[in-house]
Amino acid sequence: MMRAGKLCFVLLLIVSNASGCWNLKEPDQLAFDVASGMDITKDGQFEFSAQIAIPAGIGMAPEGGGGGKKDFIVIGSAGKNIYDAIQNLQTKVSRKIFLGHREVILIGRRMAEQGIGDLLDEFVRNPKSEMRSRMYVVKNADAKDILSLEPIFDPITSTGIVNKQETSGLKKYYFRDFLSDALSQKSAIMLPAVSLTRTPTYLYTGNAIFTKHHGLKLAGFLNTQESFYANWIVNKQAELAITSFVYQGNGNVSLHLESVNRRIIVKMLDQQIQIDVRLTGKGSIVENNSSLNPATPKDLQIIQDSLNQSAHASIQQLIAKAQKQLKTDFFGFDESVRQKYPHQWKTLKSKWNETFPDIDVSVHVNLQCKNMGQANSSIKAIP
């Protein structure tokens, strides 16, 4: 009798523990936040917007017109900080807001201008927050505007925004990477930006630059072309395409680079820092409108030289823009100097912003056409 009683007690204990039911929230009790937006409203308040997926709506596309359910809603709420805003947001939603599936964090224009350096803590400290998200800056609108857009391919906008990173040839850049850039000694960092078009839809518009000396504030934007090169230098680009006019062949040639690499060589001569940026890329020719035939070694060399020159010129222009116009080192050269000359860096660190515009930066580009595609000489209609 005693034994049976003990056994029952143990079994009861096992069942109640193994199931873990008391701590369970069924998915139908949760509101899944798939994308979060951070904005400053027109009257200067912090606003947090959540794009919340409506599972019942997804997969039930309205057939032949008819009102199906929407796939998501976007709800915004003001607050003193992120968690306060989420608390306020919760009052508007009947289900518990669940942040664990957040894929995207968007930063509105005004928010970026005001600085996001003080709003990073919640993402790490709150165990319910999610660090695997990708980050974007919105160039010409609020984050909320982008989130509310009608998606094209996917049921929810956030999926498309995530995919934008890969389709733009960028390497995966998660919130944790952003965080380690933000806390490192780099004086400026870049985040990809999207902008709202009149259609309305969104497009990838290159990088936003944040400077750190006043708490991660927006310092400017690069256009898509500049961003490809800038990302190449900071090793965030996985692939890219370069199109340039080949003078000798009187036409354009496009090279799709499947693997790009970079090396930043720092030298110090008489207390003068010299930076050598060495970029290499390998790829195949995907379009050739010139009269040159890449099947012949001589013409191939001409094409390669011409592409190298054109990339070289663009990159030098970009570096000049960084040094003279923006006066910000968003290439992470400071980090390279620190890694090579840690002792000298201690004195250089405080005046890097003044030093950077006058630093001697040289660029070497080495592009190789490994494959000429499915044609030899250009396919052209003969006049």
Partner 1 sequence: MKLSGAQIFWIVATIEVVMGTWLTITPAIQTSQQDAWISMLIAGVTAVALSFFYARLSTLHPNQTLVQFSKTLLGKWLGGAIVFPYFIVWITLPAALLRSFGDFIHLVFLDRTPVSIIMILLIGLSTYLTYSGGITGIGRFAEIAGPFLYLSLILSFVLNAINLRWNHLLPVFSESGWVTIFKGSLMPASYLAESFTLLVIVSFMNNPRNAPSQSMLGVGMVALMVFIATFMTILVFGPDVSSKLRFPFFMMVRSINIMEFIQNIDVFVIFVWIFGVFAKLALYLFIGSYEMAAWLNIKNWRKTIWVGAAGIFILAYLIPNQTFIGIYPIYWMYILVPVCGIGIPLLLWSVTVMKKKLAKSSVE
Q: 108 or 169, CB closer to partner 1?
A: 169
Q: Which residues contact 278 (CB under 8 A, 6 or more apart)?
A: 262, 263, 264, 265, 364, 366
Q: Which residues contact 164 (CB under 8 A, 6 or more apart)?
A: 136, 192, 194, 204
Asked if 301 touches partner 1 (CB under 8 A), the answer is no
Q: Of 78, 77, 71, 108, which is closest to residue 93 (Cα–Cα)? A: 77
Identity of residue 128: K
Asked if 272 touches partner 1 (CB under 8 A), the answer is no
Asked if 342 touches partner 1 (CB under 8 A), the answer is yes
Asked if 7 touches partner 1 (CB under 8 A), the answer is no
Asked if 132 touches partner 1 (CB under 8 A), the answer is yes
- Smallest gap from residue 23 Cβ to partner 1 (A): 5
Q: Which residues contact 236 (CB under 8 A, 6 or more apart)?
A: 170, 171, 173, 190
What is the 8-class DSSP label of residue 201?
A: -
Q: Are 368 and 258 in contact (CB under 8 A)?
A: no
Q: 294 or 332, CB closer to partner 1?
A: 332
Among the listed residues 183, 241, 265, 295, the single contact to partner 1 using CB under 8 A: 183
Q: 131 or 300, CB closer to partner 1?
A: 131
Q: How far is CA 274 from the centre of its chain?
A: 29
* In 176-294, beta strands by DSSP E: 188-196, 202-211, 217-221, 240-246, 251-269, 272-288
The span from the CA of 159 to the CA of 161, in Å, is 5
Q: Check the CA dihedral 218-219-224-226 and report its sign.
A: negative
Crossing angle of helices 224-233/297-320, nearest 10°? Answer: 100
Give me the DSSP letters along 5-58: HHHHHHHHHHHHHHH-GGG---GGGEEEEEEEEEEE-TTS-EEEEEEEE-TTTT
- Smallest gap from residue 127 Cβ to partner 1 (A): 5
Q: Are 256 and 327 in contact (CB under 8 A)?
A: no
Among the listed residues 20, 44, 66, 383, the single contact to partner 1 using CB under 8 A: 20
Site for partner 1 in 143-182 (CB under 8 A): 174, 176-177, 179-180
The span from the CA of 145 to the CA of 157, in Å, is 11
Identity of residue 124: V
Among the listed residues 4, 5, 23, 63, the single contact to partner 1 using CB under 8 A: 23
Among the listed residues 95, 262, 282, 340, the single contact to partner 1 using CB under 8 A: 340
Half-sphere exposure of 287 (CA within 13 A, CB side): 10
Asked if 131 touches partner 1 (CB under 8 A), the answer is yes
- Smallest gap from residue 289 Cβ to partner 1 (A): 38
- Smallest gap from residue 345 Cβ to partner 1 (A): 9
Site for partner 1 in 88-107 (CB under 8 A): 100
Among the listed residues 223, 248, 274, 339, the single contact to partner 1 using CB under 8 A: 339
Binding footprint of partner 1, residue count (CB under 8 A) = 22
Among the listed residues 43, 343, 351, 381, the single contact to partner 1 using CB under 8 A: 343
Asked if 217 touches partner 1 (CB under 8 A), the answer is no
- Smallest gap from residue 173 Cβ to partner 1 (A): 11
Asked if 124 touches partner 1 (CB under 8 A), the answer is yes
- Smallest gap from residue 133 Cβ to partner 1 (A): 11
Which segment (81-89, 204-212, 237-245, 334-342) binds partner 1 by CB under 8 A? 334-342
Q: Quick one: the chain helix, strand, coil %, rounded to 5?
A: 35, 30, 30
Count other Cβ atoms within 10 Å, centred on residue 168: 19
Which segment (90-98, 123-131, 252-260, 297-305) binds partner 1 by CB under 8 A? 123-131
- Smallest gap from residue 336 Cβ to partner 1 (A): 9
- Smallest gap from residue 135 Cβ to partner 1 (A): 15
List residues near partner 1 by CB under 8 A.
17, 20, 22-23, 100, 124, 127, 131-132, 174, 176-177, 179-180, 183-184, 335, 338-340, 342-343
